[in-house]
Amino acid sequence: MTGPSPPGRPGRKGLERPQDLRWGFSTGSAATAAALGAAMFLRDGRPPDQVEIALPQGRRLAIGLSEASTGPGGAARVVVVKDAGDDPDVTNGARIAVTLRPSPRAGLEISGGQGVGRVTRPGLVLAVGQWAVNPVPRSMLGENLAPFMADGQGLEAAISIEDGERLALRTLNPRLGIVGGLSILGTTGLVKPFSHRAYVATIDNALSVARAGGSREVVLATGRRSEALARQARPDLPEEAFVQIADFFRAGLELATRHGFEAIGLAEFFGKAVKQAAGFPYTHAHHNDMDLGTLAGWLDGLGPEPLGLIASAPTALAALEVLKEFRALDMVPIVAGKVLASARGFAGPGPLIWVSVFDFDGHLLAHGQDPGRPLPRRGPL
């Protein structure tokens, strides 16, 4: 991979990424680079050695092409080798190919081929029957191929992954009901190198910066979107008071307590909240394959039908959809209460703790807070 390696959080003191870890690019970026290379091959009659793709959030990234060939129907096929950097990714080194051909229909048609999975269960961001090409990679493909679809020109892009069906057995795809191969994923186009020690050190640095700036309250978010929601609701807190802890539930709480914060907030989506409520110190899916029967067991008062659907749901998103369908979102505060209890176990008796749980559209589902204890600043979400 060429091009600059992005920092952990641009422009914020104390949060530079560890310099010994190399970033990679996502399967979505690999497919986009292969598609762009194939489009240039069709236009120019020869493939480039590398392409520069547009990523979300305005970044650009140069990616080399591995091989290129032509096929029937005026098609061009280009292969990109996925580079996950220093992240221990199952798809590192996978050969991701896109076969691109002109279409009589305007616009871009994206399909999967050998080694790309199909969705067979509800509860994911893609509908049942769709190829497992997530929304952000679809958007990236459309944006990067737009210049080649002027004047009503259409394109068909078929994505395949060599040995993808075997590699998918080492992921959660079979349990999620994605059959036949891997998913084309990515939200930023980049793969952050995943080192537990380095990430915990980054959290520690961020908390140190917040405390040094005079913050008495810190908000621990599980990701970029949950942080953005928390910041919208808490404009009274400075930027450095919001810290992304990813899956490091226990480490984030222990470090925040050690730094002496009087109040610790947790901002997260329903899926992470369920795992935190179960007491997992580290909530990454590859390490904690949670049986949603546990969630069903917490929700006394629901009838046997919704409880059965929740217990057999493939994901927390699917379980949440069951609660919405049966108009039982008033059960979500039970999960928030259990998150508070788990958090108290990791943080100890000192700081006030609050939690806000969102759905995947960004709506607040539940808020919980230690009773009878005032915040050091304006009230929480």
Domains and CATH numbers, the chain: 24-191 (3.30.2110.10), 196-369 (no CATH)
Nearest residue to 217 (alpha-carbon basis) of 266, 160, 180, 166: 266
What is the spatial distance between Cα 297 and Cα 212, in angstroms, rounded to a whole number? 43
Residue with tokens 């422009």: 11
DSSP state of 169: T
Nearest residue to 177 (alpha-carbon basis) of 223, 126, 238: 126
pTM of the model: 0.65
pLDDT value at position 121?
84
Our measurement of the distance from residue 170's CA atom to the centroid of its chain's CA atoms, rounded to an integer in Å, reads 18
What is the per-residue burial (b if ≥16 Cβ within 10 Å, else e) of 45-58? eebeeebebbbbee
Sequence-separated (6 or more) residues with CB below 8 Å from residue 263 = 216, 217, 218, 351, 352, 353, 354, 375, 376, 377
Over the chain (381 residues), the average pLDDT of each successive run of 10 is 36 36 91 98 97 95 97 95 87 97 96 96 87 96 96 94 96 85 93 73 88 93 94 92 94 96 97 95 69 91 94 92 96 96 95 95 93 59 42
pLDDT value at position 6?
41
pLDDT value at position 253?
98
